[in-house]
Amino acid sequence: MPIIQRISAGLCVLTFLLQPTSALGRQWGLPDAGEVSRGAFIRAAVQAFEISTSKKGDALPYSRIPKDLMEFIMAAHERGALDIFGKELLPASPILRGQAVQILVVLSDLMQAGDGKTDFRDIRPGTPLARAVRVAIEQEWIVPLRPSQFGVDRPVTASEAEKMLKKASGRAGQVRKDDSSKDTGVQVIRIKMPKKQGTAVVPKSDILQAVWQLINDEYLYQEKVKADEAAYSAIEGMVQSLDDPYTTFLRPAKAQNFRSQIKGEVTGIGAQVEDKSGVLTIVTPLTGSPAERAGLLPGDEILAADGTSLTGIGFLEAVDRVRGPKGTSVRLRIRRGGSEFDVSVQRDIVTVPEVEVKLMDGVGIVKLMQFGQATDTKLRGEMEKLQEKKPRGIILDLRNNPGGLEHAAGVVVSNFVPKGTVVTMIKSKDRNEEHRTEEDQIIDANIPMVVLVNGGSASASEIVAGALQDLGRATIVGEKTFGKGTVQAVLQFSDLSSLKITIAQWLTPKGRAIDKVGIVPDVTVQYSTERDEQLLKAMELLRR
């Protein structure tokens, strides 16, 4: 069974706003509103996962089970999903958030995916509950109550239950209906492949099979026959024929690198880089990183790694050449100001910062480096602290932010606009959807706001800038953004390879297409290496 994750113009995970339960929720037996009982949740989970049931079966270890729930509870019990209740199921009792995620993780076969680490005060690290919660949050089934508390003992509401079940079972993650990510991040949602009328037959499949059979039967140099290499090369060729730079097949090693970026941890030299006219160029070394310790500077061009030229091999391949295992060294050929020299950098595990919040001259400056899990789960807590300081203005700095999770983009916008506000519209092959903020506004509406962007602002950054511009909530300052307005889904297969495939495009709340167009600032200010003219202009606007 594959796993899906959504990425936006950079890395976007598309999510649904679920209010009262839909027809599907009612079909599963969920109430229209209010709290959900254990029995109702178990029945809905079994149906959502399409688990076969039987009215006949062994006796259950629980007492007082209603007949209409018996087959569903039996199916969940046989899979070990109800062990958390011991011998007293009490099906009429409310299902708690902690219990719900443990049931879903077992039914999803993802219990081993959780590492048991937790910063929540209401969860003990290393426990099955901690592992389940980690999985649920990483896969965006549910959002914690606050940065320090998950809310394990809070009853699950009908809308929460439907959202969790849709995502965990894959109904909110099917390629035609749902999820996404950027060229640097991933969130994983287990899905069932959609059942379609008719099956797309692999073109020339008879010839492909015949060629493969002949290679195995007749080819002289049998030691050169490598089944995995042949299969991966065939898949890569199929995907490359689409001529879409954002639709790619990732072999297991590259897929792992891709997944790690969304968690904010990578192994390498610790520098933000971009492709400038085919040359890998350092935007900035991360603070305390191997790149900074080696003396690398913004604007440095990386021409080669360990003697291998990086020119013309593609951005991702060039980045892979620079990255490597912790403790190893890479010799980089650097061009700086017309001069070239070599520098050796020892690789290490680098934590990529996502959020920096500070107060300068009474103005809150919020810099987002990417839209990953930290932005998704921790930003609102930082914004609550900032609001308590009563800033006279807010500057949201999205410059050189390549994007990330679309859900994180919604979280960012939710800080500044009322709950239920449209953030973006998603236009896919066969449907259109509106995505709205799901959380209450934190920053007072009367606090003026400026958003800084440039050509390195892409994907989820453009979603945020476009939304705040359309809504009249912020003045956009800087340079035109990158212009990546398509949505990708990331499907992870059983061998840990992945397919990142374009499934939709997003539009601003007013219906503006951004792909290959970008967001045009309200106030255009060119960047200067002498001083930050864009930031100074933002401060000037907030003084008025």
Q: Which domain holds residue 319?
A: 267-351
In sequence order, what E strands does 226-306 have? Answer: 248-250, 265-268, 271-276, 279-285, 301-305
Q: Are 292 and 419 within one domain?
A: no
Q: Are 24 and 90 within one domain?
A: yes
Q: Please report the pLDDT score of residue 197 as a whole number.
A: 47
470 annotated active-site:
yes
Contact partners, residue 10, CB within 8 Å, separation at least 6: 181, 182, 183, 184, 185, 370, 371, 401, 402, 403, 404, 458, 459, 460, 461, 484
Whether 141 is in a domain gets the answer yes
Whether 278 is in a domain gets the answer yes
User: Cα(248)–Cα(263) distance, rounded to whole angstroms?
Assistant: 20
CA distance between the termini of the chain: 57
Number of independent structural domains in the chain: 3
User: Cα(405)–Cα(390) distance, rounded to whole angstroms?
Assistant: 29
Whether 259 is in a domain gets the answer no
537 annotated active-site:
no
Choosing from 428, 470, 500, 537, which is the catalytic residue? Answer: 470
Q: What is the DSSP string of 210-246?
A: HHHHHHHHH-S-GGG--HHHHHHHHHHHHHHTT--TT
Residue 440 near residue 521, CB atoms below 8 Å: no
Q: Are 335 and 476 within one domain?
A: no
User: Cα(108)–Cα(170) distance, rounded to whole angstroms?
Assistant: 10
- Count the residues in the chain: 544
Choosing from 177, 182, 367, 484, which is the catalytic residue? Answer: 484
- Of 300, 327, 351, the position where a domain reaches its end is 351
| Three-state DSSP class for residue 517 | coil
Whether 181 is in a domain gets the answer no
User: Cα(12)–Cα(14) distance, rounded to whole angstroms?
Assistant: 6
- Of 351, 382, 416, the position where a domain reaches its end is 351
Q: Are 316 and 390 within one domain?
A: no
Q: Are 409 and 488 within one domain?
A: yes
User: Cα(215)–Cα(203) distance, rounded to whole angstroms?
Assistant: 19
Place of tokens 């109800």: 82
Q: Are 325 and 468 within one domain?
A: no
Q: Are 367 and 456 within one domain?
A: yes
- Of 336, 351, 366, the position where a domain reaches its end is 351
User: Cα(156)–Cα(36) distance, rounded to whole angstroms?
Assistant: 6
Q: Which CATH number belongs to the domain containing residue 370 in this structure?
A: 3.90.226.10
In order along its 544 residues, the chain shows pLDDT tens digits of 333 444 443 333 322 222 344 566 677 888 878 899 999 999 999 998 888 887 665 677 888 888 888 889 998 998 889 989 988 899 999 999 999 999 999 888 787 777 778 888 899 988 989 989 988 888 878 888 887 889 999 999 988 898 888 888 765 433 323 333 333 333 333 333 444 445 678 888 889 999 999 999 999 999 999 998 999 999 999 999 998 888 989 888 777 766 665 555 567 898 878 777 778 888 778 778 899 899 999 889 999 999 999 987 777 678 878 988 788 999 999 999 889 999 999 998 777 678 899 999 999 999 998 887 778 778 899 999 999 999 999 999 999 888 877 788 999 999 999 999 999 998 888 888 899 998 999 999 999 999 999 988 888 999 999 999 999 999 999 999 988 888 887 887 877 788 888 888 989 999 999 998 999 999 999 987 678 999 999 999 998 7
Choosing from 108, 459, 497, 498, which is the catalytic residue? Answer: 459
Whether 258 is in a domain gets the answer no
Contact partners, residue 189, CB within 8 Å, separation at least 6: 3, 4, 5, 6, 139, 140, 167, 168, 170, 172, 173, 179
Taking Cα atoms as reference points, which of 340, 413, 406, 417 lies closest to residue 371? 406
For 37, the token pair is 């009982």
Whether 298 is in a domain gets the answer yes
Q: Are 367 and 309 within one domain?
A: no
Q: Are 507 and 412 within one domain?
A: yes
User: Cα(504)–Cα(318) distance, rounded to whole angstroms?
Assistant: 28
Residue type, 473: R
Q: Are 532 and 432 within one domain?
A: yes
Q: Please report the pLDDT score of residue 52 as a whole number.
A: 84
Whether 198 is in a domain gets the answer no
Q: Are 418 and 296 within one domain?
A: no
Q: Are 333 and 374 within one domain?
A: no
Whether 372 is in a domain gets the answer yes
Taking Cα atoms as reference points, which of 316, 264, 253, 263 lies closest to residue 286? 264
Neighbour count for residue 222 (Cβ, 10 Å): 10
